[in-house]
Amino acid sequence: MDKFTISPVPELIFGRGTIKELPPIIAKMGFLNIAVITGGKSFVNSIYWQFLSDSFSANGLKVYHFISIGETTPETVDGIVQNLLERNIDVVLAIGGGTVMDTGKAVSAMLCMSGSIIDYLEGVGTKEPTGKRKPLICVPTTSGTGSEATKNAVITKIGNNGFKKSLRHKAYIPDTVIIDPDLIMSCPIPLTIASGMDAVTQLLESYVSIKSNPFTDQLALNGLKLAGSSLSRLVNNPEDMDARVKMAYAAYLSGITLANAGLGVVHGAASVLGSMRSIPHGVVCGTLLGSATEMIIAKLNKHKNPLNDASLIKYSEAGIALTGSNNLIETLNNWVNDYKVSRLSEYGFTEMELVSASKLTGLKNTPFQLDKKDIFSILFSRL
């Protein structure tokens, strides 16, 4: 067994009704001033937001509420931080999907650093994050990104000279995560599909990653099994609570595995495409996963050697975990068709843009050294 290292994981409170534990947790910690970041509509119009608001007020807590819509941009983070600088914030609470939690992570960090968040982004800024931050609690309302378990916040600027880069430090893993499947019940089917495909992509790419290890392998296989048994059920019946619970846990596991084993070419492409146009991250992952997996497996079969054979075995194991049989490629492609996952052209991408994107796409920890023509072929197949 080779040497490996595992990053810390947050305190996890998992189960139906656990959102009710949030106010006493915060009160017990002695916090008074809370920065709360949510999405735009779903949660703030729910009974859960009313419950939290009443509970915070009853416990004498001062709440500063901000809404984060769409991708997490430098302007969003800098604006919230500027508003909070004189508020003596004790804790940041992020309740929402992956981008909301990324906003919460970034705000908690930037409250302890000077300047713009751009200064600290990988591949963009020139400064190193200090690792200091305000206490952070994350409550996901979708099952997909795993952001509640990771050490980075993805920040996006779309358009010319755009980017999709991370603010990253091992200290940015949240302190506490509350996963209450009741909060995810109202998640619409298109978002359920996109976030679910994101989780599956993260689990599969981390499992076959060249940096995987025995710890992440077991979590990834468990996550793939849970996702495979629940995603299709949710598409047919969004109110299937058992499937919601399993998918929520699978998404959390995907965050742990990606944080410790890394990802692959699908996420490499998602970073590039997401900086070019406003396309949901989960849609990119969902639309490319089948084509990318098929390409990689074909290359591994064509170039036989012990390392490639080991990767093929892992793909087979992943297929069995996800589908119950070794039908990985067929299942992923069927999902894309059956779930009507959008093609790239539906978001305005052109063939020439995909040529450019393929040149910028990194392989990350993909188990075969794809070239730029291979990457273009994957992207073009989903134009």
Model confidence pLDDT, tens digit, residues 166-189: 999 999 999 999 999 999 998 899
What does the pLDDT read at residue 340? 94
Which pair of structure tokens corresponds to residue 254? 């995907």
- Low-confidence stretches of the chain (pLDDT < 50) are none
CA 255, 49, 132 angle in degrees (round to 5)?
45
Q: What pLDDT is attached to residue 190?
A: 93
Confidence (pLDDT) at 283: 96
State residue 159's pLDDT score. Answer: 87
For residue 169, which of 215, 201, 210, 127 has the smallest C-alpha distance?
Answer: 127
Percentage of residues in the chain with pLDDT exceeding 70? 100
In the chain, where do the E strands start and end? 11-14, 33-38, 62-67, 91-96, 136-140, 152-157, 163-168, 176-179
- Nearest alpha carbon to residue 223 among 313, 317, 160, 342: 317
Delimit the domains of the chain by residue range: 11-184, 189-380
Q: CA 335, CA 227: separation in Å to the nearest integer?
A: 12
Name residue 267's beta-bridge partners. none
CATH class of 11-184: alpha beta
Contact, 43 vs 178, CB < 8 A? no
What are phi and psi for residue 316, nearest 5 degrees? -65, -45
Secondary structure of residue 269 in the 3-state scheme: helix
Residue 324: which region, alpha, beta or left (left: phi > 0; alpha: psi -120 to 50)? left
C-alpha count within 13 angstroms, C-beta hemisphere, residue 215: 15
pLDDT computed for residue 186 by the predictor? 85
Q: Report how far residue 73's alpha carbon sits from residue 86's, in angstroms, rounded to the nearest whole number.
A: 22
Confidence at residue 25, expressed as pLDDT on a 0 to 100 scale: 87
Under 8 Å between Cβ of 101 and 108: no
CATH superfamily of domain region 189-380: Dehydroquinate synthase-like - alpha domain (1.20.1090.10)
Neighbouring CB atoms inside 10 A of 109's CB total 27
pLDDT of 160 reads 84
Dig out the tokens for 132 from the structure: 């200091």
Instruction: Give the pLDDT of residue 211.
Output: 96
Q: Which pLDDT belongs to residue 318?
A: 97
Distance in angstroms (rounded) separating the CA atoms of residues 351 and 374: 14
Q: In whole angstroms, what is the distance from residue 31 CA to residue 147 CA?
A: 24
**Eight-state DSSP code of residue 163:** E
11-184 matches 189-380 in fold: no
